Chains A and B, each alone.
Chain A
Amino acid sequence: MGPESVAASPTSDAVPGLPEYAPRPFLLQDRRQETSDTVTLTLVPADGGTVPSFRPGQFNMVYAFGVGEVAISISGDPTRDGPLVHTIRAVGKVSTALTRLRPGDVVGIRGPYGQGWPIDAAEGKDVVVVAGGLGLAPLRPVLYELIGHRSRYGRVEIVFGARSPADLLYYSEVQEWRRRTDLRLQVTVDSADRSWYGDVGVVTQRLPDTRFDASRAVAFVCGPEIMMRFVAQALEARGLAEDAVWLSMERNMKCAIAQCGHCQYGPLFICREGPVLSYRRLKPLLAWKEL
């Protein structure tokens, strides 16, 4: 069964005593301010149990009690047992409430849900990772996987773009990755003041500098939809096949189990068939302005 045809259901084992889709209480262990409006939350099960395993690119429904529930990608390390990690930007009522939580507070978690990045299909190939802004959060597990099992993959090229230097996520970790000799990471911002000595320009400007064998490469792209469209076009122009380019779509996930229809995107339910989908499937939909 292909990665795009699996039915939606949480990949974790159901918790005894709880209905399958009931939120499970998680305790906020640590809160890290990434940028002015974005935090990374480290969570552990309040019942003392284990954190469900996940595949890079999957998401959880995170419940701010009394406020609401929102879909958030998992941004922790899938190669290690450890706490659950979510990076959240304050955008709406629920996400703002989540960014205001303090250690010791409790949230509800259900998941993980959805189809992640097809990491297995990348083995033996060159891997191009392109992230824009908060799009690095769902791609960070991919980077952990690539670095954790580096010999399984060919050349690794990463391009990370943000609006400004102040909007760069995981700054110290990004600097560590830049120092590695077994991958190449380019960071660029859309504009900057004179204190920034890095690249300035949109992410597509950095793509001609990436080196990969288009006949045996895959690309994982996440960011604002318009950025993904430009990047996918640029990668296609570099010779990558449509089904070698994978995008993570963001839609208004509510139930996460393909019942409510809020995340419907043409014929797709993003919570079930996505959020990660091939450019081959998405290309006609991205060109459809009414969607």
Chain B
Amino acid sequence: MTNGEKPVIRLTSATHPFLEGFDAEFLAAASEGAEALELPPEAMVFHSGERARHLYLMLEGKVALEIEAPDHPRITIQTIGPREVLGWSWLVPPYTWPVDARVLKPTRVIALDAGVLERHLEAHPDVGYRFLRRLIPVIAKRLDEARIQLVDIHGT
């Protein structure tokens, strides 16, 4: 997504709501390999089937999660906006993205390196626990929303 030398990122608790309350050691570790990306409309954040290597913290803009299947038109199933988090597939086998993520509006995002995160969280289980306590509600919320979509509340 970027060319040339990566600018150094120093994450703080204020960088994104997902990071609120984490200690300086974790923030310093998560800053390693983190990238600030500015993505134009139509850029792909990731493609379905690719190895998942990042956790994305949305700062600005809008990203569409899209699914395409044989004999089905490509559809957008959800959009993700500022203050939200995108991408936990690096934690779940087979560690590949299940959907495409396409930029709809100019987007600023911080991409955290999943390998760096994993190493730190494995070495510090207490932080790993807090990290998962922070991530699981995000996943649960998406699951709830998917269930409501499944009910097709406007379809009747």
Chain A interface (Cβ within 8 Å of chain B)? 132-133, 161-163, 167, 188, 190-194, 196-202, 204-205, 209, 223-224, 226-227, 230
* Dominant secondary structure of chain A at its interface with chain B: mixed
- From B78, B79, B151, B154, contact of A162 by CB (8 A): B154
Assuming the contacts A193-B76, A204-B145, asked whether A163 and B154 have C-beta atoms less than 8 A apart, the reply is yes
Is B81 on the interface with A (CB-CB < 8 A)?
yes
Nearest chain B CB to A138 CB, angstrom units: 15
Nearest chain B CB to A45 CB, angstrom units: 34
Beta-carbon contacts under 8 Å, B106-123 to A? none
CA distance in complex: A142, B61 (Å): 31
Which residues in A have their C-beta under 8 angstroms from that of B77?
Answer: 191, 200
Q: Convert B133-156 into 0s and 1s, putting 1 for each residue whose CB lies closer than 8 angstroms to a CB of A.
A: 000000000001100110111111
19 A-B pairs besides A204-B148, A223-B154, A224-B154 with CB distance below 8 A are: A132-B153, A162-B154, A190-B153, A191-B75, A191-B149, A193-B75, A194-B64, A194-B74, A197-B62, A197-B104, A199-B62, A199-B81, A200-B79, A201-B149, A202-B148, A204-B145, A224-B156, A226-B153, A227-B153
User: A201, B153: Cβ atoms under 8 Å?
Assistant: no
Nearest chain B CB to A6 CB, angstrom units: 30
Q: Which residue of chain B is the closest to A226 with respect to CB atoms?
A: B153
User: A226, B62: Cβ atoms under 8 Å?
Assistant: no
CA distance in complex: A132, B148 (Å): 13
Is B7 on the interface with A (CB-CB < 8 A)?
no
CA distance in complex: A201, B146 (Å): 8
User: A193, B78: Cβ atoms under 8 Å?
Assistant: no
Chain B interface (Cβ within 8 Å of chain A)? 41, 62, 64, 66, 73-79, 81, 102, 104-105, 144-145, 148-149, 151-156
- From A133, A198, A201, A226, contact of B151 by CB (8 A): A226
Which residues in B have their C-beta under 8 angstroms from that of A132?
Answer: 153-154
Which residues in A have their C-beta under 8 angstroms from that of B75?
Answer: 191-193
CA distance in complex: A162, B154 (Å): 6
State the 6 A-B residue pairs at the shortest beta-carbon distance, nearest first. A163-B154, A227-B153, A133-B154, A202-B148, A200-B76, A200-B79
Which residues in A have their C-beta under 8 angstroms from that of B41?
Answer: 197
Nearest chain B CB to A33 CB, angstrom units: 19
Nearest chain B CB to A232 CB, angstrom units: 13
- From A167, A193, A205, A226, contact of B74 by CB (8 A): A193
User: B105, A197: Cβ atoms under 8 Å?
Assistant: yes
CA distance in complex: A197, B105 (Å): 8
Q: List 16 A-B contacts (CB under 8 A).
A: A163-B155, A167-B154, A191-B76, A193-B74, A193-B75, A194-B64, A194-B66, A199-B79, A199-B81, A201-B79, A202-B149, A204-B145, A205-B78, A224-B153, A224-B154, A227-B154
CA distance in complex: A226, B147 (Å): 12
Which residues in A have their C-beta under 8 angstroms from that of B66?
Answer: 194
Which residues in A have their C-beta under 8 angstroms from that of B64?
Answer: 194, 200
Which residues in B have their C-beta under 8 angstroms from that of A161?
Answer: 154
User: B105, A205: Cβ atoms under 8 Å?
Assistant: no
Q: Which residue of chain B is the closest to A132 with respect to CB atoms?
A: B154
CA distance in complex: A190, B149 (Å): 6
Which residues in B have their C-beta under 8 angstroms from that of A230?
Answer: 148, 153
Nearest chain A CB to B144 CB, angstrom units: 8
Which residues in A have their C-beta under 8 angstroms from that of B156?
Answer: 224
CA distance in complex: A284, B99 (Å): 40
User: A201, B74: Cβ atoms under 8 Å?
Assistant: no
Which residues in A have their C-beta under 8 angstroms from that of B104?
Answer: 197
CA distance in complex: A58, B79 (Å): 35
Assuming the contacts A191-B149, A202-B148, A204-B145, asked whether A196 and B76 have C-beta atoms less than 8 A apart, the reply is yes
User: B148, A193: Cβ atoms under 8 Å?
Assistant: no
User: A194, B76: Cβ atoms under 8 Å?
Assistant: yes
CA distance in complex: A227, B151 (Å): 10
CA distance in complex: A199, B62 (Å): 8
CA distance in complex: A284, B149 (Å): 24
Nearest chain B CB to A201 CB, angstrom units: 5
CA distance in complex: A197, B62 (Å): 9
CA distance in complex: A226, B154 (Å): 9
User: B154, A190: Cβ atoms under 8 Å?
Assistant: yes
